[in-house]
Amino acid sequence: MGRASALFSSDVPRRLGTLTATERRLWRAFPQGEAVDLRVGDPALDDPAQADRWPAERSVRGEVLAALLLGACPAAPGAVAVVRLTGARITGGLRLTHGQVASPFILQGCRFDGTIDLDGAVTESIDLSGSRLIMLSAYGTLVRGTLDLNDTVVTGGEQAVNADGIRIEGNLSAERATVTGSFSLINAQISGRAKFIDAKLSSTAPDGEALNAGGMRLGRSLLAQGLETRGELRMPGAHIGSSLHLNGAVLDGLGGTALHADSLTVASEAVFRSRGTGEDEQPFTALGTVRVPGAKFGNGLDLRGARLTPKEDRPALRAARIVVEGNLLLGGGLRTDGELRLTGARITGHLDLVGMASPNALLSLHAATAEGGIRDDAASWPNRLNLDGLSYGPFSDYLDAHQRLLLISRQIRRSDGTIGGFRAQPYEQLAGYYRSLGSDGEARTVLLAKQRALRAQLPWWQRISGRLLDLLVGYGYRPLRAIGWAIALLVAGSVYFAQVRPQRVSSEDTSVFNPVLYTADHLIPVIHFGQSDVWQYHGAPAVVTVVLTILGWTLGIAIAGTAGRTFTRN
């Protein structure tokens, strides 16, 4: 027995001194990959938060763990050496900086008194689930497997998890993790999934970052349903190889930006929807701006039912120049009083607004494109719109021009953002939509409304001619009105001239005066009936003939313009 103990002692590096009974137990278990469980079976007492009450025999030095992981004890023949330790208090730090760790290590439900330092290390899978840490540093670490932080509590400080440049060949899992301090994954490369389901990430600085994954490259999905953040969630330039799920997440930007994801790329769908149903339903909530300018979504972007509450005078959604390969869904009870800024957005599917519940919002679709059309209902649009430059395919439901024009009337002024601004393009686009359906009458209604809206922007003295043109011929878009006016003027002129006898120009001419033809001579351009060459008036009747001539040319030009539009479909 003494000889076996001596042999065991010779295997332990002298710098570790004498191992405790628990450390010797772990040392013997390691070569076979056997588990060492120090829990007592009482969930309250086994909680790592209560580690200060644990007896000394539940403690293991971090340097002993590091020695095992760095090769001080070889694996048994035919076995896989693994550190499997549960319910221990790890005293001191666990330092594996730039080390080559050939064994997985599973440290579940443990309490770490010092920092876990994995900077530059190459390791197998790491499982710290259910443990309580002060700080995890894994800058530039290569994990040849998975990193499991499920149910982990990191008390941290300004920075709780520093995993910038980490490379994980499997999944990163931090479900239900509670992290106080910044969780940094800048330029991380993860081959599998990253999971932050029901995690709580809190910055300790007023303007700090809860999670910074700028430039991260993820091979599969980012699953963050129910995630709660206090501080900015940053993913600028990140690339997600499959889908992004933030259903039911609550992102609190602490007065600033809730989500900063400029130039984000999501290969499949991105979902910012509610989670659960009925009383358990939790909508996606952003307390601060959601900014995704320049982002690309490969299979749709879903914000149905979201709650967006930006800081005053800041947009709720900044999504300029986004590309959505699929549908952009903004309905289903989405609520905000801020601006939904979709300037220059390109949507290959349809823009879905059905059920949007944001009457006080500003929906800005300046220079946006909805190639698949727009799915909406009359009540879904906000009261303030910027539709200048918006191009779209068909609407899902047909509404007549008067109903669609109510939307254009909500166009904002650029100067102060209030409604009442005029832009020609929304009218032209809507008219083109009706023409594509063969509804030329509805298209003319839209274009007439455009002329009236343009006139309303002019000084009063410049509106006079426009009002006259509108009254006579509806700016040329009401041809029947022009014909009606022509007939009315012809009748009125004929009656008038029948009462007032003209003077004969030449006594040798024997023609008979015809008041109808005389009126037509002055009212109808180009066509000449000869009455005005033989008969003439002076005084008030002469003024009437001039007025008839002017009105005749006005009506003639309007009718010709209408005919031209009909033949060219312009």
Q: What is the pLDDT of residues 219-234, one digit of tens each?
A: 999 999 999 999 999 9
Residues in the chain: 570
C-alpha 157, offset from chain centre: 32
The per-residue pLDDT for 361 is 95
Report helix, strand or coil for 387.
coil
CA distance 131 to 151: 7
Tokens at residue 71, please?
């090769």
**Could you write out the DSSP letters of every residue in 488-550?**
HHHHHHHHHHHHS--EES-TT--PPP-HHHHHHHHHSSS---SHHHHEE--SHHHHHHHHHHH
Q: Regarding predicted confidence, which is higher, 564 or 241?
A: 241
CA distance 402 to 109: 67
Burial class of residue 370 in the structure, from the number of CB atoms within 10 Å of its CB (0-12 exposed, 13-18 middle, 19+ buried): buried
CA distance 367 to 347: 12
| 200 within 8 A of 228, measured Cβ to Cβ | yes
C-alpha 28, offset from chain centre: 55
* Cβ neighbours, 10 Å, residue 341: 22
Give the sign of the dihedral formed by CA 372, CA 376, CA 378, CA 380: negative
Q: Where are the domains of the chain?
A: 1-134, 473-568
Say yes or no to pLDDT of 197 above 60: yes
Query: pLDDT of 109-131, one tens digit each?
Result: 999 999 999 999 999 999 999 99
The per-residue pLDDT for 121 is 97
Sequence letter at residue 311: K
CA distance 249 to 225: 6
C-alpha 291, offset from chain centre: 7
Q: Regarding predicted confidence, which is higher, 549 or 150?
A: 150
* Cβ neighbours, 10 Å, residue 563: 12
CA distance 367 to 376: 19
Task: Read off the pLDDT band of 1 (50, 70, 90).
Answer: very low
The residue behind tokens 């001539």 is 549
- Of all residues in the chain, what percent carry a pLDDT higher than 90? 68
The tally of CA atoms less than 13 A away on the side-chain side of residue 142 is: 7
CA distance 261 to 281: 26
**pTM (two decimals):** 0.85
Q: Regarding predicted confidence, which is higher, 509 or 525?
A: 525
Task: Read off the pLDDT band of 532 (50, 70, 90).
Answer: confident
Query: pLDDT of 38-48, one tens digit each?
Result: 999 999 999 99
The per-residue pLDDT for 39 is 95
Query: pLDDT of 466-487, one tens digit each?
Result: 777 767 666 667 766 777 878 8
Give the sign of the dihedral formed by CA 493, CA 495, CA 498, CA 499: negative
- Where on the phi/psi map is residue 276: left (φ > 0), alpha (ψ -120 to 50), or beta? left
Report helix, strand or coil for 361.
coil
Vertex 531, ends 528 and 536: CA angle to 5°?
125
User: Which distant-in-sequence residues (6+ apart) come within 8 Å of 519 by Cβ?
Assistant: 489, 490, 493, 494, 497, 548
The per-residue pLDDT for 152 is 98
Sheet strand arrangement including 296-297? 122-123, 142-143, 167-168, 189-190, 217-218, 239-240, 265-266, 296-297, 323-324, 346-347, 369-370, 391-392
Count the helices and strands in the chain (H runs, E runs).
Answer: 12, 51
DSSP 336: E
Rounded to a whole number of angstroms, the distance between the first and last alpha carbons of the chain is 103
Say yes or no to pLDDT of 546 above 70: yes
- Of all residues in the chain, what percent carry a pLDDT higher than 70? 94
Listed residue (27, 104, 36, 119) closest to 72, CA to CA: 27
| Mean pLDDT of the 269-283 span | 91
The per-residue pLDDT for 355 is 94
Q: What is the CA radius of gyration of the chain?
A: 39
DSSP 395: B
Phi, psi (rounded to 5 degrees) for 186: -60, 125
| Mean pLDDT of the 78-85 span | 94
| 364 within 8 A of 340, measured Cβ to Cβ | yes
The per-residue pLDDT for 508 is 67
According to DSSP, the residues that pair with 533 across neighbouring strands are: none
Say yes or no to pLDDT of 280 above 50: yes
* Cβ neighbours, 10 Å, residue 398: 12
Task: Read off the pLDDT band of 2 (50, 70, 90).
Answer: very low
- Where on the phi/psi map is residue 494: left (φ > 0), alpha (ψ -120 to 50), or beta? alpha
**Could you write out the DSSP letters of every residue in 102-129?**
-S-EEEET-EESS-EE-TT-EES-EE-T
User: Which distant-in-sequence residues (6+ apart) come within 8 Å of 501 by Cβ?
Assistant: 513
The per-residue pLDDT for 541 is 81
The residue behind tokens 């944001």 is 358
| Mean pLDDT of the 263-272 span | 97
Average the pLDDT over each of 344-353, 445-454, 460-469, 553-562 and give the range with the smallest value: 553-562
Say yes or no to pLDDT of 567 above 70: no
Mean pLDDT score across all residues of the chain: 90
Say yes or no to pLDDT of 554 above 80: no
Pairing of strands 239-240, 265-266: parallel
Task: Read off the pLDDT band of 545 (50, 70, 90).
Answer: confident
- Where on the phi/psi map is residue 106: left (φ > 0), alpha (ψ -120 to 50), or beta? beta
The per-residue pLDDT for 558 is 66
Q: Regarding predicted confidence, which is higher, 208 or 242?
A: 242
The residue behind tokens 């002076």 is 538
The per-residue pLDDT for 543 is 84
Query: pLDDT of 397-416, one tens digit each?
Result: 999 999 999 999 999 987 77
Give the sign of the dihedral formed by CA 162, CA 164, CA 167, CA 170: positive
Task: Read off the pLDDT band of 465 (50, 70, 90).
Answer: confident
